[in-house]
């Protein structure tokens, strides 16, 4: 009986490992996307700061940035 249960246990472990590997890959891809998005935001912040420094961007009372080109 114990020998019969052993293959079932190995199959369960293998199946669970496969599930976790798929999940790890998805999370890795999501993390990369988040990092890419953060980098894009950092670039946008630098551009906005430079535009504001040059007087080409202003923030009125409503909080929405506008350009003064």
Give 39-56 pLDDT, tens digit per residue. Answer: 999 999 999 889 888 888
Maximum alpha-carbon separation in the chain: 81
Average pLDDT over residues 59-68: 66
Query: Is the distance from CB of 58 to CB of 66 less than 8 angstroms?
Result: yes
pLDDT in tens, 1-48: 456 668 899 999 999 999 999 999 999 999 999 999 999 999 999 998
**Residues 6 or more apart from 51 whose CB is under 8 A from it?**
57, 67
Alpha-carbon distance of 11 to 7, in angstroms, equals: 6
């Amino acid at each position: 009986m114990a020998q019969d249960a052993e293959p079932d246990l190995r199959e369960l472990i293998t199946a669970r490992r496969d599930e976790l590997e798929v999940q790890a890959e998805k999370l890795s891809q999501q993390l990369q996307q988040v990092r890419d998005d953060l980098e894009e935001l950092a670039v946008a912040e630098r551009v906005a700061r430079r535009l504001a420094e040059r007087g080409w961007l202003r923030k009125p009372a409503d909080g929405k940035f506008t350009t003064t080109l």
